[in-house]
Chains A and B, each alone.
Chain A
Amino acid sequence: MRVRIAYLLVVIFFIFVFIIFYRGLSNSNLYTPNTDIKNIPEFSSKTLLKKETVNSKNIFNQNKFYLLNIWASWCLPCRDEHPLLINLSNNNKIEIIGLNYKDKLSNAEKFINELGNPYSLILLDSEGTKAIEWGAYGIPETFLIYENKIIKRYIGPLNLKLVDEIKNYIK
């Protein structure tokens, strides 16, 4: 009798684990924009190139639009959307901040050397924890920010249509 209860408990345990994993899978599916965070999370981070530590309070504090772009040198779609970001960086109503995600420093620098630097500041997230704070789904991912509020988020690479949309916002 006792043995049977033990067996039953084991089976129940595994069913529980299955359900959790199953939910976990569909969770990442249902992970849609404009839920969760509205305000930008507070953090401090080292920066690429200038090698200094900055606090998020001092980044998004001016009265203009900001675009936070999460990228990595190993991410191919990031490479694709990069020219669009460079194009956008010529617009002085918006400032583009990069968040370099789980990358090797020298590769990240190489990437910027090769393709140009649209970012006014590149924050480092070598462990991927800051991207989690932002609730990022994956890379690339881009957040449009105004007055410390996230007004729009773009999962996946930007394209011409989305860039036009961003230009519309900041007009």
Chain B
Amino acid sequence: MLYSSLGHYSLVFGLITSLPIIFFSIKNFKNDEVLDYKIITFSFIQLLLVVISFFGLIFAFVYSDFSNETVFNNSHTTKPLFYKISGTWGNHEGSLLLWLLVLTLFIFLFLIKSKNHLKKYRILTLLFQQIIIIGFFIFLIKSSNPFNYIFPIPDEGMGLNPILQDPALAIHPPILYLGYVGSSIIFSSVLAATTLNYISKNWATHIKSWILISWIFLTLGILLGSIWAYYELGWGGFWFWDPVENVSLMPWLALTTLLHCILILEKRSILSSWVIVLSIATFTLSMCGTFLVRSGILNSVHTFANDPERGLFILTFLFLLIFISLLIFFIFHKSDNQKINSFSLLSKETSILINNWFMMYFLSVVLIGTVYPIFLDVISSQKISVGPPFYHKIIVPFLIPFLIFMAIGPQLKWIKAGLNNKSHLLILFVISLLISFLIVDSLKINFLVNTLLIGSAFYLFFITIRDFFFKKFQNIQQNISHFGFSLLILSILFNNIFSNELITNLKVGESFKNDKFEITFNDLKKLDEKNYISFKGNFSIRENKIEDILEPELRVYNQPNIITSEADIKTTFFTDKFITMNSVKNEEYFNIRYQVKPFMLWIWISVLLISLGGLMSLFKKNHES
């Protein structure tokens, strides 16, 4: 009760604080030479009020205050403390409060960290950010207030969706939001810099850290979501091309491209239009994601309660931001002094530019796959669902040139063609193709595409490994990220190709052998539990002289009489082994399903490596400056 009202009033006062911030900003923009300290103070007050409000909600959850509608809908007294706290942002209202928290936190940090920059630029960035902040404040208070009061007060809450009670998912939203919302700073800063014609090498260096920060969080956030999908949803995959997964992938693609463009801008003062458009795209895509998820326009595992009024608000706000940014881009942007074609065809710039176009292609494929069903529904009332085959067919072939350019690009020099003494590029390419040929040849899969794909992934893999030794750690962060990416592609490919499945019927004491493995059904233990009888099977699986023991379980519940099957997953360095058993009607035989999923762990590791590269780049930069 107390915490809820505290939270509610701080939220209202937080919105009001925007008034003095805007007033002093405009006044200061025209007059003094130095930044008025009052602006920073009021920004801090606003941040503080949002923090209080956020903690108000957390405490309401911790103390199970069911007079609060959000708590009532999403919590339960018997829930463990950890999930009570994570329940705070596991729902629509709370997660938006978290958005707001990150928005205000980042602009405050930006104000402190940008002291060496032009005063007008700092103030204008703040003003653009305030537009976003006010928008979210109004949205939160008007249509998704997390502090709504219910009377009479219920005794017990509705509980958190059990599928969301998972440690990876508990931290997935905050990490992902740091990435999403971090891009708001990039957005505001780009608009300010465009208006003031402030885009320069110096500016690029400064905004690069913000890009890196959001990029790292976004990468980790997507990773956590994927890990959750693998272990909790139990469909055996890690990426389902679900609209909501796509919605997080799109800003990531834009942000990754932006990261590469900002490097060129920093070195060569070109591609400023790319930088502006991508910065705008990253944030609007994040907002667009919020719109798609929260409005209920899409149906997906992640959809929160759908409410068209909320959808309409975000939609209007989103397009308002898009039109403001388009207007600024059209009016103020002046193209680069140097022409794009002032560098050679075989330079670093060209290879980055080519891969930018590839990234844009991947981005549009994902975008079309995600929103096309909506368009079709509106225009022709047809309902379709776009699935993995669409994405695989359209994206996979284009990965081949993408990987090759990614391998060659870093070997080239800026501006000039530089292919002297680069015979190793050709040799490694031939070796990679040979290895890939040997792997693919022994399998019955689509020969040409797979050879080229695995070959080009290996190519990037070998070149990045070679660079670790020959480049003397000059550009180690980029090297690690690219290495991680090659590892990711290889792991995904091998995971797809070498996944094995065996389905057979066995009884105790029997074994089944095929050319790959031998499964022996050793033992069946019967245990009486509280409300079910457990049959725990003991299987030994022999594969290349390595023996594993796996224990899947079959539960026979007494009331009502129902049988459930619990899988056993064993994760090792190179493969995941996954076994389930089911009873066959009226017989002593059991149906056994055994799956081998190679390189699962490596998919997670490689994504960690990719973000580690970003993290090192961030620290190296701070160290230098």
Which residues of A does B touch, CB under 8 Å?
Answer: 7, 10-11, 14, 18, 20-29, 49, 51, 73-74, 76, 102, 104-107, 109-110, 112-113, 116-117, 126-129, 132-133, 135, 138
Q: Do B378 and A28 touch across chains, with their CB atoms under 8 A apart?
A: no
Proximity string of chain B (289-329) to chain A, C-beta cutoff 8 Å, 1 when within and 0 when not: 00100011101110000101001100100010011001000
Q: Which residues on A sit within 8 Å (CB–CB) of B565?
A: 106, 109
Q: Which residues of A contact B312 (CB under 8 A)?
A: 22, 25
Q: Is the CB of B374 within 8 A of A21?
A: yes
With A and B bound together, what is the CA distance between A112 and B560 in angstroms? Answer: 8
- Do the beta carbons of B566 and A106 come within 8 Å of each other? yes
A-B contacts, 30 listed (Cβ < 8 Å): A7-B330, A14-B322, A14-B323, A18-B315, A20-B374, A22-B312, A22-B315, A24-B297, A24-B374, A24-B377, A25-B297, A28-B308, A49-B562, A73-B163, A74-B162, A74-B163, A104-B163, A106-B234, A109-B562, A109-B564, A112-B560, A112-B562, A113-B532, A113-B557, A113-B560, A126-B235, A127-B385, A128-B299, A129-B385, A132-B383
Nearest-Cβ distance from residue A38 to partner chain B, whole angstroms = 15
Chain A residue nearest to B564 (CB atoms) is: A109
Contacts of A29 in B (CB 8 A): 308
* Distance of A104 Cα from B383 Cα, bound (Å): 24
In whole angstroms, what is the CA distance A116 to B560 when docked? 6
From residue A20, how far is it (CB to closest CB) to chain B in Å? 5
A100 to B587, CA, bound (A): 28
CB neighbours (8 Å) of A127 from chain B are 385, 387
A147 to chain B, nearest CB (A): 25
B159 CB–A CB distance under 8 Å:
yes
| B245: chain A residues within 8 A (beta carbon) | none
The distance in angstroms between the C-alpha atoms of A49 and B312, with both chains bound, is 42
Return chain A residues, CB-CB under 8 Å to B297: 21, 24-25, 28
Closest 6 CB pairs of A and B: A109-B564, A23-B378, A113-B557, A74-B163, A25-B311, A24-B374
Residues of B within 8 A of A113 (CB): 532, 557, 560, 562, 564
B529 to chain A, nearest CB (A): 12
How far does the alpha carbon of A76 sit from the alpha carbon of B163 in the complex, in Å?
Answer: 12
Since A29-B308, A128-B299 are in contact, a sample of 19 more A-B pairs with Cβ atoms closer than 8 Å, ordered by chain A residue number, is A7-B330, A11-B323, A18-B319, A20-B375, A24-B378, A25-B308, A25-B311, A51-B582, A76-B158, A104-B232, A105-B234, A106-B564, A107-B162, A110-B564, A112-B560, A116-B560, A126-B235, A128-B385, A138-B296
Q: How far is the CA of A116 from the CA of B557 in the complex (A)?
A: 11
Category for how many chain B residues contact A: 35 or more
Complex formed: what's the CA distance from A116 to B562 in Å?
A: 9
Q: What 0/1 readout, one digit per residue, does chain B (228-239) give for beta carbons within 8 Å of chain A?
A: 000011110000
Residues of B contacting A7 in the complex (Cβ-Cβ under 8 angstroms): 326, 330
Q: Would B562 and A117 count as touching, CB distance under 8 A?
A: yes
Interface presence of B81 (CB below 8 A):
no
Q: For the complex, what is the distance from the CA of A6 to the CA of B213, rounded to whole Å? A: 34
Interface members, chain B 371-388 (any A CB < 8 Å): 374-375, 377-379, 383, 385, 387
Contacts of B582 in A (CB 8 A): 51
Which residues does chain B contribute within 8 Å of A10, judged by CB atoms? Answer: 326
A107 to B567 alpha-carbon distance, docked (Å)? 13
B26 lies within 8 A of chain A by Cβ: no
In the bound complex, what is the Cα–Cα distance between A122 and B315 (angstroms)?
Answer: 38
CA distance A171 to B567 in the complex (A): 45
A105 to B323, CA, bound (A): 45
Q: Are B385 and A28 in contact (CB under 8 A)?
A: no
Chain A contacts for B295, CB-based, 8 A: 25
- From B310, which residue of chain A is reached at the shortest CB distance? A25
Min Cβ gap A110→B in Å is: 7
Which one, B161, B234, B375, B377, contacts A74 given CB within 8 A?
B161
Chain A residue numbers with a CB within 8 Å of B323 are 11, 14
A76 touches B377 (CB 8 A): no
B284 closest partner in A (C-beta): A14
- Report chain A residues within 8 Å CB of B235: 126
Question: Is B394 positioned at the interface, with any CB of A under 8 Å from its CB?
Answer: no
Chain B residue nearest to A35 in the complex (CB): B381
Given contacts A11-B326, A18-B315, contact A27 B377 (CB under 8 A): yes
Cβ of B118 within 8 Å of any chain A Cβ, yes or no, is no
CB distance from A90 to the nearest CB of B (A): 13
Q: Are A135 and B296 in contact (CB under 8 A)?
A: no
| Neighbour of A14 across the interface among B161, B311, B326, B560, CB < 8 A | B326
Q: Mark B192-220, 1 if CB is under 8 A from A, else 0.
A: 00000000000000000000000000000
A127 to B387, CA, bound (A): 9
Nearest A residue to B388 via CB reads A127
- Enumerate B144-171 residues with CB–CB distance to A below 8 Å: 158-159, 161-163
A14 CA to B284 CA, complexed, in Å: 12
Q: Are A25 and B383 in contact (CB under 8 A)?
A: no
- Residues of A within 8 Å of B566, CB to CB, are 106
Measured CA separation A7–B315 after assembly (Å): 22
Bits for B484-520, please: 1 = Cβ < 8 Å to A, else 0. 0000000000000000000000000000000000000
CB nearest to A50 among chain B residues:
B585
Give the CA-CA distance A73 to B301 in the complex, in Å.
12
CA–CA, A21 to B291, complex, Å? Answer: 10
Q: How far is the CA of A133 from the CA of B563 in the complex (A)?
A: 30
Query: Max chain B CB contacts within 10 Å: which of A24, A105, A133?
Result: A24
What residues of chain A lie closer than 8 Å to B311, measured between beta carbons? 25
Most buried by B among A102, A117, A133: A102
Is there an interface contact between A117 and B377, defined as CB atoms closer than 8 Å? no
CA distance A105 to B567 in the complex (A): 11
- Interchain CB contact under 8 A, B315 and A21: yes
Question: What is the CA–CA distance of A132 and B161 in the complex, to the nearest angstrom?
Answer: 23
Q: A132: which B residues are within 8 A, CB to CB?
A: 299, 383, 385
Tell me, in angstroms, the Cα distance from A10 to B273 when the chains sit together: 15
Q: Are A25 and B315 in contact (CB under 8 A)?
A: yes
- A20-B378 in contact given A25-B295, A76-B158, A76-B159 (Cβ < 8 Å): yes
Q: Give every chain A residue within 8 A of B291 (Cβ-Cβ).
A: 21
CB distance from A34 to the nearest CB of B (A): 16
In the bound complex, how far is the Cα of B159 from the Cα of A74, in angstroms?
11
Residues of chain A with a CB closer than 8 A to B385's CB: 127-129, 132
A130 to chain B, nearest CB (A): 10
In contact, B163 and A107 (Cβ under 8 angstroms): yes
Residues of B contacting A25 in the complex (Cβ-Cβ under 8 angstroms): 295, 297, 308, 311-312, 315
Contacts of A73 in B (CB 8 A): 162-163
On whether the beta carbons of A27 and B378 are closer than 8 Å, the reply is yes
In whole angstroms, what is the CA distance A92 to B534 when docked?
Answer: 33
Question: Chain B: which residue is nearest A6 at the CB level?
Answer: B330
Taking the nearest CB of chain A, how far is it from the CB of B168, in angstroms?
15
Q: Which residues of B contact A76 (CB under 8 A)?
A: 158-159, 161
**B157 → chain A closest CB, angstroms:** 11
Q: Which residues of A contact B158 (CB under 8 A)?
A: 76
Residues of A close to B387: CB separation below 8 A = 127
Nearest A-chain residue to B319, judged by Cβ: A18
Find chain B residues with CB under 8 A from A109 CB: 562, 564-565
